[in-house]
Amino acid sequence: MNVAFITPAPWLKRQPVYRAGSRLYGTRDAITGPLILAGIVRRAGHNVRAYEELRGNVDYDELLEWADVVSIYTMTAVAPRAYQIADMFKTKGHAHVIMGGLHVSAMPDEALRHADQVMIGEGENTILDVVEGRRTEPIVHCEPVKDLDAVPWPDYSVLQTPVDAADIMTTRGCPFRCSFCTTTRMFSPYRERSVDNVIAEIRHYKEMGFKYINFEDDNFTANKKRAKEICRRIIAENLQSKETFFFGRTDMANDPELLELLSKANLNWVLIGIESLNQEALDSINKHQNFNDIRRAGEACREHGIHMIASIVLGIDSDGPRDIARATKFAKQIGASKLQPAILTPFPGTPVYENYKQDNRMILDNEKNWVAFDMMNATFQPRHMSPWDLQMEFFRCAYDFYDLEGAIIEAKNYGLKDGINRLALGGVARLGWFAEQLAAKYATHSFYHTLKVTPWMYATEYGLPATATSRYENDPSRKKLINRLGPTGVKGRDVKESFVGENSAFGNSSAGQTSGTHHANEDAGLASAASPTKPRAILSAKPGTQHLLAQAFTRENTKQAIGRLGEKISTTVLRAINFADVASGTVAKYIVR
């Protein structure tokens, strides 16, 4: 039989400009799960192809004719695209459609509306029985793999789209169970491969010519003794790669020997979850770390030449804007090379999702809106800020972190290329803020608009009207934070005006303002000039272009076009900012996978 394995990507991630831009942030890789399953099916005698939509185009006209079986890997943020592909094969092709992955394991009945069969859990022991028709039940419950050494390595020979980095999973699961993490719900219990087996796979990829390696374990250093042995073997056998990425935890800073071995083995990029500096917040998500652990981790990585990607979670119930700003500033102080702000996302199958759903806190919670569940969009009602406020915190963190000073330090520590890359990310963040404002105002069909006009359910607890969509203008602590560097590159009153004057996330919510409505009590700095047909984008333009822009903004169809453009740019920018998106199909591996 002809069998195709497809890893979908949303529309924007399939565009050439996004693919080209992503090369600035890391190397191209491929998710390991589908390639492992594809290898099993190929070795059983079938014709197999595998595709990563993120990395290259797929000729679906040809594939519809060729494929007898199609297996679609599905994470929450790509579920709408996965369902679109499944529907296409069911209506236009002749293939038997199988869906697997983290999202459909949590939502099998939803997936069955589009697929012939849904596989729940780890599929290595079951995939052949499903493909060859020995397992025919609609929902197939798969048994977890007990011996990871018996699992074949990913088969890159069947991959039809480009790849530069080889991904290796030396473990499955994680000893910790953070409440927002879906990985431990699917990959449980925690299991390890033997060191010999891991080293053999690394050697195999070196022989294939791979110069980049990503360790995709949720916590590569969970077993420090084992991590040390892997590093020793890499050093002894000269198996170092040009760059090697891994996920770690702050507790690795407590082991100087481990840090020295990681450095010598050239494991030179690590993503560590700071999440928050608020101990109550850390305890609430079962993070099992404290402030001193985080500080030591940053110092230790810098001393050993390991690039640290600091991940912080935005929107934890115990955190407010002050906590987020503090965590961002702290990430700079400890010398993090990159910041990964991740909006807390209640993924189906997690305790956070069940709790928020029970408390009616979910805003986006259906098949149409799963694309927003990529840790870069607010999908629920936060406790200490409105949904739109939380959405804006993503950009505020990014442009606070990626400033000129930080770029200079990065260039000094790691080289000019890294410094320029960091500075460019700051520009991307500023562009993203502007694009998302456009999308929220003019693209009324978008979830950005939904977030901006959704009343904050906790507004009355802060003395605001029940219709308020923002807290910031009446929040004394936020007024101080507003004086930080803004997207216009200026400070103080000008920054405040740039937000407040256009009824943005920082509008006067006490007056009951909502998105897209112009009020007479706007900030004095812009009230005399701004109007519904003369937004701030026009006011900030050069005088010679203001007239033409003003004319364009009076036409409703142009407004909608700008809104759609803003929505597309915004979503592209959101994803571009996250390095983990490139490291393994993104933070998805850190939280979603």
Helix (H, G, I), strand (E, B) or coil at 406: helix
For residue 171, the surrounding DSSP H or E stretch is strand 171-172
How far apart (Å, rounded) are the C-alpha atoms in residues 567 and 299?
A: 39
> Over 90: is that where the pLDDT of 492 sits?
no
Whole-structure pTM value: 0.78
Residue 325 is classified by DSSP as H
Domains along the sequence of the chain with CATH: 2-141 (3.40.50.280), 164-344 (3.80.30.20), 434-574 (no CATH)
Task: Kindly provide the residue ranges of all beta strands, DSSP E only, lying in 300-380, ordered along the sequence.
Answer: 307-314, 338-343
What is the rounded distance in angstroms from the CA atom of residue 180 to the CA atom of residue 364? 17
Identify the helix (H) or strand (E) that includes residue 70: strand 69-73
Residue 166 pLDDT exceeds 90: yes
Residue 86 confidence (pLDDT) above 90:
yes
More confident residue, 435 or 452: 452
Instruction: Give the pair of three-digit tokens for residue 194.
Output: 């033997």
Q: Which carries the bigger pLDDT value, residue 148 or residue 567?
A: 148
CB 315 within 8 A of CB 351: no
Share of the chain above pLDDT 90, in %: 52
pLDDT, position 592: 30
Give residue-wise pLDDT tens across range 177-224.
Answer: 665 565 655 566 789 999 999 999 999 999 999 999 999 998 899 899
Which one of 203-212, 284-293, 487-496 scores highest in mean pLDDT?
A: 203-212
* pLDDT tier at 171, thresholds 50, 70, 90: very high
Query: What 3-state class would DSSP assign to 67?
Result: coil
Q: Which of 272-276, 292-296, 373-377, 559-563 has the lowest mean pLDDT?
A: 559-563
- Res 54 pLDDT > 60: yes
pLDDT at 428: 78
> Which string of b and e fits 545-563 if b means at least 16 CB within 10 Å?
eeeebbeebeeeeebeebb
CB-CB neighbours of 483 under 10 Å: 12
Rg (CA), the chain: 24
Mean pLDDT of 323-331: 88
Q: Give me the pLDDT at residue 388, please.
A: 94
- More confident call, 173 vs 162: 162
Give the model's pLDDT for residue 421. Answer: 85
Question: Around Cβ 251, how many Cβ atoms within 10 Å?
Answer: 18
> Which band of pLDDT confidence, cut at 50, 70 and 90, is reported for residue 287?
low
The residues, ordered by sequence, that sit 6+ positions from 584 with a Cβ below 8 Å of its Cβ are 29, 31, 167, 214, 216, 245, 590, 593
pLDDT given at position 590: 31
pLDDT number for residue 70: 98
Which whole number is the average pLDDT over 23-40?
A: 87
Q: CA 46, CA 39: separation in Å to the nearest integer? A: 10
Q: Which residue has the higher pLDDT, 84 or 332?
A: 84
Using 50, 70 and 90 to split pLDDT, how confident is the model at 43? very high
**In the sheet where 2-7 sits, what is the strand order?**
47-52, 2-7, 69-73, 96-100, 117-120, 139-141
536, pLDDT greater than 90: no
210 or 434: which leads in pLDDT? 210
Identify the top-confidence range among 52-66, 171-185, 242-256, 287-301. Answer: 52-66
Q: Which of residues 173 and 224 earns the better pLDDT score?
A: 224
DSSP state of 251: G
Mean pLDDT of 490-511: 28
pLDDT tens for each residue of 240-268: 999 999 999 888 888 999 999 999 999 99
| Helix residue ranges, H only, 25-117 | 32-43, 60-66, 79-92, 102-106, 108-112
pLDDT > 60? residue 318: yes
pLDDT band per the 50, 70, 90 thresholds, residue 496: very low
Q: What is the pLDDT of residue 117?
A: 98
Mean pLDDT of 269-292: 68
Higher pLDDT pick, 112 / 435: 112
Q: How far is it, in rounded angstroms, from Cα 216 to Cα 247?
A: 7
280: confidence class by pLDDT, cuts 50, 70, 90: low
pLDDT at 435: 84
pLDDT at 513: 29
Amino acid 284: pLDDT: 59
- The predicted structure's pLDDT at residue 566: 57
Q: Is the pLDDT of residue 541 over 70?
A: no
Q: How far is Cα 483 from Cα 565, in angstroms, rounded to an integer?
A: 29
Region 68-79: mean pLDDT is: 96
Over the chain, what is the mean pLDDT? 79
Burial of residue 41 (number of CB atoms within 10 Å: 0-12, 13-18, 19+): buried
Least confident of 73-87, 97-111, 304-318: 304-318
Instruction: Supply the DSSP string of 445-501, one letter for each residue.
Output: TSHHHHHHHSPPTTGGGGT--TT----GGG-HHHHHHTTS--TTS--THHHHHHHHT
Q: Within 10 A of 61 (CB to CB), how many other CB atoms are there? A: 9
| pLDDT of 494 over the 50 cut | no
Which is more confident, 380 or 368? 380
* E-assigned strand segments in 219-314: 243-248, 269-275, 307-314
Helix, strand, or coil (residue 269) = strand
